[in-house]
Amino acid sequence: MDSPTEEVAGAATDPVVGSILDDRYRVDGLIGRGGMAAVYRADDLALGRRVAVKVFTASTEGIDDADRRRSETALLASLTHPALVTLYDAAQDRATRREFLVMELVEGEDLRKVLERGPIPRRDTARMLADLAEGLHVIHSRGIVHRDVKPANVLLASAHLPTRRWNAKLADFGIARLLDESRLTATGRIIGTPGYLSPEQVRGEAVGSSADVYALGLLVLESLTGRQPFPGPALESASARLVRDPEIPGDLPAQWRELLAAMTARDPADRPSALDVALATESLGIDEQSHASTGATTALLHPPAAEDDTRILPATRTDVGAQPDDATAATRVLTGVGAAPAPSTAPQDGGERRRLPRRLVLGLSAAAVVVGAAIVIPVTVGALAGGGTPAESTPTTPSEAPMPSVEGDLGVHLDQLEEAVSP
């Protein structure tokens, strides 16, 4: 859902505003509008509380099966966590036949609007990453893949501690399941935003939880630099990640570079799980002179390989990207894209990546914090406030890696993707 702090122009003429959905939810204002749905502020007349209501467009179908809607809603509503926007209800308005979701109303900005003012300090980004990675771990453990991790789906509620700027919350998880992902993939549709799709989503392959980790890596890079890692038109942005890794600034501390390179590896099997990412964030605030903490972060992300298992860390690049344009467009249900098998309801990717035993992971993470605490540099009040200067606009420049002419099934898929995202 979009930020609940800014009313959208044209809300006065919106027929949903002022209506009562399903004889229960009285809509009094438009919050935001995207390609798939519009989000409204409303009152739950039955329970007497303020809520956010996401009403899908007439062209987006999938939750009209009442029995399946109830079962999926019960599953998603059971996922209560501080880093997840709570889902209350999913229903269909009898009068208009429009399907909608009812969610927790979060008072605060979304990350997209915050990034319009410039990059975010590393301290705030690390805490936001910890929140989001933990939230993803919770949904992944229940067999749910978000599929659309992006700044507009990250809500930043004001924190009540002087040492913390925000509490980050992830919105719109489970949308693919509620819209019936088996139906979507069978008709050649993809839920996602071009600027944050994983390479496997671009190729039209089966999507697992590692796709969310990749998108989270791109989101964090954008938060630190103020620039989208893969800018440009939708097709260019989506296909560029098939031939190169995102640029990771060399002036970032080694722990950050190591973590981001692992999260944005092109091979899904080389990415850490969301749980590994959450644990690794505990060492991101440690001073770079602590070699022990750097080693602990490395061990968390890349467990020792067997003798017959050679691991090569993802390479980083130094080519400078341009400012984003339509790669930051709203979530779309892309049509005409080659269908991939629907993922199973079991937790994704858990058995494919080599991981350290849980006790050892926790021990390494704790060791990183203890070693670094002895040399941590006091943070100034200005850093705690977290204000950033707006990033200057830079002209769009072509990527150093030329776009290849692709043949075969991948080429056909990219042609279909271009048609799907073209205005």
Percent of the chain exceeding pLDDT 90 equals: 42
Q: What is the tens place of the pLDDT at every residue in 72-113?
A: 778 888 888 999 999 998 888 888 888 899 999 998 899 999
148 is catalytic: yes
Whether residue 24 contacts residue 46, with contact meaning beta carbons closer than 8 Å, is answered with: yes
Q: What is the tens place of the pLDDT at every residue in 374-420?
A: 333 333 334 333 444 444 444 444 444 445 555 666 666 666 666 65
Res. 269: pLDDT tops 70? yes
Q: Which fold has domain 11-104?
A: Phosphorylase Kinase; domain 1 (3.30.200)
Phi and psi at 224, nearest 5°, equal -80, -30
Q: What is the tens place of the pLDDT at every residue in 139-158?
A: 999 999 999 999 999 999 98
Give the residue from 270, 290, 297, 266 showing the smallest Cα distance to 366: 297
Whether 11-104 shares its CATH topology with 109-377+407-421 is answered no
Residues 199-212 have a mean pLDDT of: 93
pLDDT bucket at 18, cuts 50 / 70 / 90: very high
Q: Which residue has the tokens 């964090």?
A: 220
Whether residue 98 contacts residue 58, with contact meaning beta carbons closer than 8 Å, is answered with: yes
At 200 the pLDDT is 94
Res. 176: pLDDT tops 80? no
For domain 109-377+407-421, give the CATH number.
1.10.510.10
Q: Which residue has the higher pLDDT, 315 or 93?
A: 93
Q: Which residue has the tokens 């980790």?
A: 213
Helix extents (H) in 357-397: 358-373, 381-385
Cβ-proximal residues to 237 (8 Å cutoff; 6+ apart), any chain = 194, 195, 228, 230, 231, 327
Q: Where are the domains of the chain?
A: 11-104, 109-377+407-421
At 416 the pLDDT is 63
At 360 the pLDDT is 39
Res. 309: pLDDT tops 90? no
pLDDT bucket at 64, cuts 50 / 70 / 90: low
User: Which helix (H) or strand (E) element contains residue 167?
Assistant: strand 166-170
Buried residues in 373-407 as b, exposed as e (16+ CB within 10 A): eeeeeeeeeeeeebeeeeeeeeeeeebeeeeeeee
Token pair, residue 260, equals: 């981001």
pLDDT bucket at 189, cuts 50 / 70 / 90: low
CA atoms of 306 and 379, how far apart (whole Å): 41
Handedness of CA 417, 228, 316, 314 (dihedral sign): negative
Phi and psi at 181, nearest 5°, equal -65, -25
Largest CA distance in the chain: 66
Neighbours of 304 (CB within 10 A): 9
Res. 262: pLDDT tops 50? yes
User: In angstroms, what CA-CA distances link 101 with 6, 31, 234?
Assistant: 20, 14, 28
CA atoms of 314 and 294, how far apart (whole Å): 17
The 3-state DSSP class for residue 267 equals coil
CA gyration radius, the chain = 21
CA atoms of 339 and 174, how far apart (whole Å): 19
pLDDT bucket at 188, cuts 50 / 70 / 90: low
The 3-state DSSP class for residue 187 equals coil
CA atoms of 260 and 288, how far apart (whole Å): 16
Whether residue 11 contacts residue 114, with contact meaning beta carbons closer than 8 Å, is answered with: no
Q: What angle do CA 272, 275, 279 make, to 5 degrees?
A: 95
HSE on the CB side for 211, CA within 13 Å? 26
Res. 34: pLDDT tops 90? no
Catalytic one among 110, 131, 148, 172? 148
Give the residue from 173, 171, 172, 169 showing the smallest Cα distance to 140: 173
Q: What angle do CA 246, 337, 36 make, to 5 degrees?
A: 85
